Amino acid sequence: MSPTHFHHVLRTLALALASINLVSWFTLDTREWLVYFDPWFCRTVLFQTFVVGLPALPFLIPLQNNASLLTGSFLLGVVSALLALFEFLWLAMIAFATFCRGPHWNFYWPWEDRSVLKIVALNRFDLSEWFWIAVLGQSRPTQSLLREWPGLTLLAIHCLVVPGILSLMLRQKLAIAWWRIFLFAFITQLLLLMSLKIALQNLFSLKYLIAFPEWGLNV
């Protein structure tokens, strides 16, 4: 290959890469998150958890000098697995938005014809609707906190009670400050909440765990 031809190949490759709007491509994941979460949740909780929470995980569980090799290897494996899992979730959202979204952001399989507009009826419901109407067979209360107490209880157990129990159980065994374990578990539970919310909406058409339309606060 002559130098002239080699430079021509490099120039062609560089122009092709420059034509790709990488910023728009990487923001596809944000648009995909908006299918499942409100904008305030994406901008505050979700974005900050990924940008700040994931890098903080390795520093929250330091390996003490007196930690055994088995304990150190286990903790290192847990941290590595969580980082890989949630980074995969972020990349999966980009891939999903790139290959499975068509006109009007409707879902299309990669082999489907996207020139045909797809109209799919979405009968999504809130957790409070399912609890009060389907389970108890009565109308939902008008008082907002009473109406949403099932979702608030589940969120409190998921995000606060579980990390609290883990911090109390593991602080002596791991010889690590309880607040480090609590923050580690809290960040992990937030990231798991995002995954669970996506799964619940796709599998059972569950729209929100808690819904306060009067305050513009939905999760």
Mean pLDDT of the chain: 78
Residue numbers of the domain that contains 24? 3-218
Residue carrying the six token digits 């911090």: 167
Q: Residues 128-156: what's their mean pLDDT? A: 89
Residue 14 has pLDDT above 70, yes or no: no
Residue 212 has pLDDT above 60, yes or no: yes
Count of beta carbons in the 10 Å neighbourhood of residue 44: 11
Task: Report residue 5 as tokens.
Answer: 């031809």
**Is residue 108 left, alpha or beta, with left meaning phi > 0 and alpha meaning psi from -120 to 50?**
beta
pLDDT tens-place string over residues 30-47: 778 888 888 888 878 887
pLDDT tens-place string over residues 176-205: 788 888 988 898 898 888 888 988 888 888
Contact call for residues 50 and 86 (beta carbons, < 8 A): yes
Q: State percent of the chain over pLDDT 90.
A: 11
pTM of the full structure = 0.76
pLDDT confidence band for 161 (50 / 70 / 90)? very high
- In the chain, how many domains are there? 1
Of the two residues 49 and 30, the one the predictor is more confident about is 49
Looking at residue 75, its pLDDT comes to: 74
Q: Find, among 92, 84, 94, 88, the residue nearest to 26 by Cα.
A: 94
Task: Report residue 109 as tokens.
Answer: 């399989």
Q: Could you tell me the CA-to-CA distances from 182 to 21, 70, 92, 161, 189 in Å, in that order? A: 40, 22, 28, 10, 10
Measured between alpha carbons, how far is 139 from 3 in angstroms, rounded to an integer? 77
How does DSSP assign 89-157, residue by residue?
HHHHHHHHHHHSB-GGG-B--TTS-TTSPP------B-HHHIIIIIIS-SPPPSSHHHHTHHHHHHHHI
Strand partners, 101: 107
pLDDT confidence band for 22 (50 / 70 / 90)? very low
Task: Report residue 204 as tokens.
Answer: 């059972």
Three-state secondary structure call for residue 52: helix
Contact call for residues 148 and 183 (beta carbons, < 8 A): no
